[in-house]
Structures are given as structure tokens and as C-alpha cells.
Chain A
């Protein structure tokens, strides 16, 4: 187990925004750090939620499996984000799997400790509510997209959402800065691997994106936004 982290790792985390240094020190005293190699599950769907979690470094995929085995990627968690906390507010069971998709460092707080911290520092509970609210809004947007939009727009929206979360400027354009497979994109957009491959190949031939096995670079950001938002076409070569 890595040594107890410095309270500074909590700075900038929306869950703990507004806490003073003493409160942050108290929060970090209850935290259990854990290194999670790429590919390792952190918790599993249906398990009793023993803890709430926050990611310090790396990337975690939250994926839910239906009764028929069909998987849906709920979201990717990046550094500074909380995860696995919904169970604290609901039935105490994790609603999805969490798997590290790159080498990660996570903190966890036993459910009882997290509840006590929220009672002692209501700002944490208010922050959690804001985060849950933001995620609900995102889920509502995705539900609307899945219900009403052509699959091409859904895929464009999914990539743009990932850019907002983990975009990085590179020479060729804007890279999504973590391993992302076409299967992941299919599971984020409620479509098949075949459809994602066909769509990305078409975009590649137009020079809009470039995708490796686990990597996506947006070469023409505006063109992707134009697809997602149904913007009027400008010039065919853009």
C-alpha cells in the first residue's frame, strides 16, 4: 500500500472544494490509497459498496452490464473525479463495474467514514450533490441523443464529451488522452462495433479523425462539432 497521501492531492477536487486545510487533513486521514494497474477492476456491479472513491491519477471506466450481457460505458473517470459514490446515497450496491484503463492511483473512504465526513463538513455533501446533478444532466443529454439522434451525431457527441474531459492539444489536432477502443465508443453510444468502425473509417477518409487501436485524434475539430451539432456546411475542404 502506498504511503498516506499529502492533503494537497485533494486540492482542486470538486468533491472537497471549499474545505479548509484542517478539514482536508481530516479527509485525507480517512483515505486509503490504492495503486491500480491498467486492466484491474476496482469494484464490481452488484457488490456491496464498502467505500466511496476518488481518482488521483490515471483513468477509470465505469461500465454497466445488462441482463443479456450487453455492456454500456457509463462514463470515464479522470483525475480529480469521484466515483462509486452513488451507492452511498442509494441501496448500498455498486451499480456498475469500475476498471482502470490506465495505471491509476485512487483514494477510497469507507462508506461509514464518508458519511461521517459529510455530516461534519456539509460542504462535501453539497459538492457531491452538485456532481451528481451534473452527471444526471449528462445522462439526460445522452438519453435524448440515443432516443432522437442519428448514430453519427451520437458518436460525434461522445468524442466531443471525451475531449471536454480529457482533450490534449497535439501537433495533428486534439487527442483524447487515454486508451479508448472502438468497442468503448460503441458502448458509450448504444450502437455496434461495426457501426462505430464504419463511421470512424468514413471520418478518417475525410481527414476528420485519426484513430489507432486505442487512440483517437480529432484532426478537424470544427468538422466534428459540425456533425454533432448539425451546423450548416461551410466549405467542403474544411
Chain B
């Protein structure tokens, strides 16, 4: 999967914007350092299951596209249909 992934520059991902913060952190743990670096208090927060990435960006006054680019640049190992060990590379 990575070969294909690496060819494209990370694009702002509209799907990411609509994930809840809790799902984002669960599906893409590599995003957690990005959140901390940007000063978001989402990791461990009780509100994380209820707020989307878009809403968090709004609450913190972040530029959504720039924020999404940062998040999209992290690896996404926990996609439900793929396993980390044996992904056939096309």
C-alpha cells in the first residue's frame, strides 16, 4: 500500500475531517504527536468521541486544510480492510 501512497503528496482528506477525534487517534495513532505539537488537548479527553476533526480545528482556531495535510501525512496502519503484515503491493 505504501508504494502507491508515497507517490502522491499528502492531500487534504475530507474524510479525515469528519472522523471523530477518538476514531482518528484509534485508526491513526501516529496523529497523536501531531495533535500534541499543535497544542490540542484531545488525547484522553472525554469529548474526543463526540467531536470531529473539523470541529476540533474550529474550536482551536486552526486552518482546517493545513491541519488535515499534517494529519494525512502520517501513516494510517489501522485501516479495517488491510492487515499490516501482508498487504499485497500492486
Contacts and interface: CB of A to CB of B under 8 A. Distances in A.
Interface of A: 160-161, 163-164, 167, 169, 173-174, 218, 220-225, 229, 231, 234-235, 238
Nearest to B61: A235
Contacts of B47: 160, 163, 167, 174, 218, 221-222, 224-225
A167 B60 contact: no
B41 A225 contact: yes
Interface of B: 41, 45-47, 49-51, 56, 58-61
The 3 closest A-B pairs by CB, nearest first: A222-B59, A164-B46, A221-B47
B50 A229 contact: no
22 contacts: A160-B46, A160-B47, A161-B46, A163-B46, A164-B46, A167-B47, A169-B50, A174-B47, A174-B50, A220-B59, A221-B50, A221-B59, A222-B56, A222-B59, A222-B60, A223-B59, A224-B47, A225-B41, A225-B47, A234-B59, A235-B61, A238-B61
A169 B51 CA distance: 8
Nearest to A222: B59
B57 to A, nearest CB: 11
Nearest to B60: A234
B41 A231 contact: yes
A225 B45 contact: yes
Contacts of B61: 234-235, 238
A167 to B, nearest CB: 6
B50 A167 contact: yes
Contacts of A174: 47, 50-51
A218 B59 CA distance: 14
A161 B46 CA distance: 7
B8 to A, nearest CB: 32
B9 to A, nearest CB: 30
Contacts of A222: 47, 51, 56, 59-60
Contacts of B50: 163, 167, 169, 173-174, 221
Nearest to A167: B50
Nearest to B58: A238
A169 B21 CA distance: 13
A160 B51 CA distance: 14
Contacts of A220: 59
